[in-house]
Amino acid sequence: MASSQHLPATPGVQLLTIDADDAGQRLDNFLLRILKGVPKTRIYRGLRKGEFRVNKGRVKAEYRLQAGDVLRVPPVRTAEEGAPAPVPGYWTEEVARRIVYEDDGLLIINKPSGLAVHGGSGLNYGLIECLRQMRPQERRLELVHRLDRDTSGLVMVARKPAVLRELHKLLRTDKVDKRYLALVSGKWPRRLSMVEAPLEKNVVQSGERMVRVAKEGKRSVTEFSAQERFTRATLVEAKPVTGRTHQIRVHAQHAGYPLLGDPKYSDPKSEALTADLGLKRLFLHARSLRFTLPGQGRVEVQAPLDPDLESTLEVLRKPL
């Protein structure tokens, strides 16, 4: 076993052999857990420079560890305090209220808008750090998948490595039914039930991550269906068939109907309508998850729209 729960910072290189309990975790999450007190910026810098290696090779932060992997950990210094930055109480209280499903191996949280799923890139904490602070006795909490910081809704967090591996397998084979609600600018056409356009990540000069439709991008497919029609907007259900970054947002923009409240993928019409409605956030909500876990059975969870999004719909429902 990689007996590395309390790995000390020492002058020498450490070689850790990954066991079955730690298999399936992202490398960055594993390092953040075992290197208590080491600044996150130091860990991510070491990953970019290739200081942390698996089986003598360079690997990316998102690499999934496998049983038997040999992880090279270079000498690192801990921060003076030696403790992670505390998560503000208002976030832990909010997350505690938003746990909508729990069993021995899985948590599902209705994530609030504005909370990232994990720290990094200038953020000291996110949903996973929040949960780890709330449940210090649970050493193996890991994100199963991600949501954008501004998107609200259902996020799965595994409590056991075996559940994490099984859910990743279901996600890879498209056996997790994920549905979102989005409010788009304009009248979504009845005939438009699918957008298929390849997507490519592109980092702009400011360092902001953007995604664009490009021929050389990865295959990306989203199914859409109108749920409620308004004079200037449409409430749609979106089902991502593939799981690309910002997929629903970029596909809606590509179709000509940007999401309201989207600061990255908008047009003058959607920006004006967002301002008219007084909408202060992205209108995108992960509302349902359906899947079957072997040995456990069917899991079906729904999360209602947050009050601020529901109130926006009420404004649109009022006659002009």
148 is catalytic: yes
- Single-letter residue type at 262: D
Burial of 137 (0-12, 13-18, 19+ CB in 10 A): exposed
Decide if 36 contacts 6 (C-beta within 8 A). yes
CB-based burial, 283-293: b 16+ in 10 Å, e otherwise: bbbbbbbebee
Alpha carbon of 259 to those of 251, 275, 282: distances in Å? 10, 13, 7
Q: List Cα–Cα distances, 58 to 21, 63, 127, in angstroms.
A: 23, 10, 28
Tokens of residue 252, six digits: 């809606």
The identity of residue 257, as a single letter, is Y
Which of 181, 223, 178, 188 is closest to 309 using CA atoms? 181
Q: Where are the beta strands (DSSP E) in 112-242?
A: 142-143, 152-158, 177-185, 194-196, 199-203, 209-213, 221-229, 233-240
Q: Which residue's entry shows tokens 């949501």?
A: 147
Query: Tokens 């002058």 belong to which residue?
Result: 11
Q: Of the listed 22, 69, 148, 306, which one is catalytic?
A: 148
Torsion of CA 312, 265, 40, 87, to 10 degrees: -10
- The two structure tokens encoding residue 281: 């956030």
Q: From CA 136, how far away is CA 138, in angstroms rounded? A: 5
Question: Catalytic residue positions?
Answer: 148
